[in-house]
A = this chain, B = another copy of it.
């Protein structure tokens, strides 16, 4: 039996291409005592992976060259030599870009059993996984929305942004998104229920973005959930109300280098803003609460999500390259079986 894997072949200096990755086929490993083998069904592709491809210092160690790309996965146990797991269990973990994961099941937190009967398994690496909890944490703990306020989120049709806006609506807020293209904006408003969505591709500069935002958020912006940076951040900063709060979750516009400076830092003072960067993996204490809340909303149909699926492990690099360009529409997944 073989195991197909995608490894990091070279470190990109700008935008990555499929040539920075390589497909490798190895023999599937046999589990030793305490280990289990997971047949992975879904791989999550996320913007943070671009940072791991760099050598430089960041909040996490770089992805080693020649090793399997890291990534969140969900799948089914097919062999177990650990008492807590049995074949047929469905588990979530960080199995990486490969078909099979050999895991030391005795390490706490490596694998988490999930119930595949009420929601599709893929949800556990999306709305009920890291992206969903990221949205929950940044919105609730940093933006701290109150009914009647206006919450803005960039990358609004994506895995994180779509949850931010829907949760903001559940808090009684006005939800305004930024997304790339008319189709995504239509989805954000008509399917997800945002009050407005600005197609950033239809605006050539910050001034034009500001004009659109003034129309979409006539009472100003109380909370901003940042996924992209660049011009959109500059535009939103000008519209923040006094004591506004900004959760900095991502700055995908700068992940390939050439991060744009922030034009008017004095607005942080003038509007007495709180700007806070966070990584949800450092706030594990909120996961149970967040997942319980998100799960109830998904099961009741109040929290909608959409997936872009790459059909096989071979397609993962192309899908990831597209994700960084906003080619995905909803949560980007790779189907592994």
Contact = CB atoms under 8 A, between A and B. Distances in A.
Interface string A114-134: 000000000000000000000
Interface stretch (A10-18, A91-99, A256-264): A256-264
B276 A275 contact: yes
A242 B59 contact: yes
Interface residues of A, number: 31
A265 B59 contact: no
A270 interface: yes
A274 interface: yes
Contacts of A59: 242, 270-272
A282 B274 contact: no
Given A261-B264, A263-B261, A275-B274, A269 B250 contact: yes
A268 interface: yes
Interface in A178-222: none
Contacts of A273: 275-277
Given A59-B242, A265-B261, A278 B282 contact: no
List of 4 A-B pairs having minimum Cβ-Cβ separation, nearest first: A261-B261, A269-B277, A262-B262, A262-B265
